[in-house]
Amino acid sequence: MVDADAVARIIREVAQEVILPRFRRLAADDIREKKGPNDLVTIADTEAEHLLTGRLTGLLASSTVVGEEGVAADAAVLDRLAGDGPVWIIDPVDGTLNFAKGRPCFGVIVALVVDGVTRQGWIHDPLADHTAIAETGQGAWIGSRRLIVAEPPPLHAMRGSAGWRRHDRLTAGVGKLVNQGSAAHDYLDLLDTRLDFAFFRQLNPWDHAAGVLMHQEAGGHSAMLDGSPYRPRPGGPGLLLAPSGDSWQALAALLG
């Protein structure tokens, strides 16, 4: 384990140095496509990942990094998650499409995985200037405020996030579905009771390792759609987070 507040300070400093100064100030050549027009990388992503990599590995001897942009350049970087020892998982700008278009729904996500298990997590909202922090067995917090998942409302009144794909049965069975384009904000909203559930098909570990730990530490119930526990690896049948085991089962039935 590392000093969680020291990591939070590093994340905040990097956001202030290279992310916030470029928000709504990106030049055309500061943005490029990776796999398509909705899969972007900006100079803020690459610079933030570079700075976070250096500063976080400096905190923990023998640690390595799996970062979104590092994996985009070399998919073999993901193999580090199958090894022993500490690995930092970094999403330098989660919600890059929002960031590139000047929408205020983006964040920074960092997790520390040790021997394949997520032990600590951080989600920073640069515009609100606050950071959610979780550590195994120690709860989830923003500052001195402990985060607790609310009791589940009736299924027909639930608010949730389920991404871009249509989910007709889910749409008909719950109160409201949103798509924020940022896993960081989905997890922050789950922790702050603005969302009751979230379903994710795309399981990049930099999007979910920290958030799943936080949700569990706040008392929520999460599992892969086949009922197996989440692990910080890519791929799988989809990840569902809900306030309780019973509400998870009801939502899973709607998802088929």
**Per-residue pLDDT of the chain in tens (256 residues, 90 and over written 9):** 899 999 999 999 999 999 999 999 999 999 998 877 778 999 999 999 999 999 999 999 899 999 999 999 999 999 999 988 999 999 999 999 999 999 999 999 999 999 999 999 999 999 999 999 999 999 999 999 999 999 999 999 999 999 888 888 999 999 999 999 999 999 999 999 999 999 999 999 999 999 999 999 999 999 999 999 999 998 889 999 999 999 999 999 999 8
Q: 113-140 burial string, b = 16+ CB within 10 Å, else e?
A: bbeeebbbbbbbbbeeeebbbbbeeeeb
pLDDT score of 123: 98
CA neighbor of 80 nearest in space, from 246, 234, 218:
234
pLDDT at 235 (0 to 100): 87
Looking at CATH, the fold of the domain delimited by 4-146 is given as Fructose-1,6-Bisphosphatase; Chain A, domain 1 (3.30.540)
236 forms beta bridges with none
Q: Which residues contact 82 (CB under 8 A, 6 or more apart)?
A: 116
* pLDDT at residue 43, rounded to an integer: 98
Predicted confidence at residue 83, as pLDDT, reads: 86
Q: For residue 100, what pLDDT is reported?
A: 97
**Can you give the pLDDT at residue 38?**
79
Q: How far apart are CA 86 and CA 144, in angstroms?
A: 27
Q: What is the DSSP string of 14-48?
A: HIIIIIGGGTT---GGGEEEEEETTEEEEHHHHHH
Torsion, CA 98, CA 99, CA 101, CA 105, rounded to 10: 40
3-class SS of residue 124: strand
The structural domains of the chain, with segments of one domain joined by +, span 4-146, 155-255
Nearest Cα neighbor of 47 from 99, 115, 120 is 99
Per-residue model confidence (pLDDT) at position 162: 94
Beta bridge partners of 241: 198, 222
CATH number of 155-255: 3.40.190.80
Q: Which position has the token pair 């970062």?
A: 67
d(CA 195, CA 32): 32
Query: Whole-prediction pTM value?
Result: 0.96
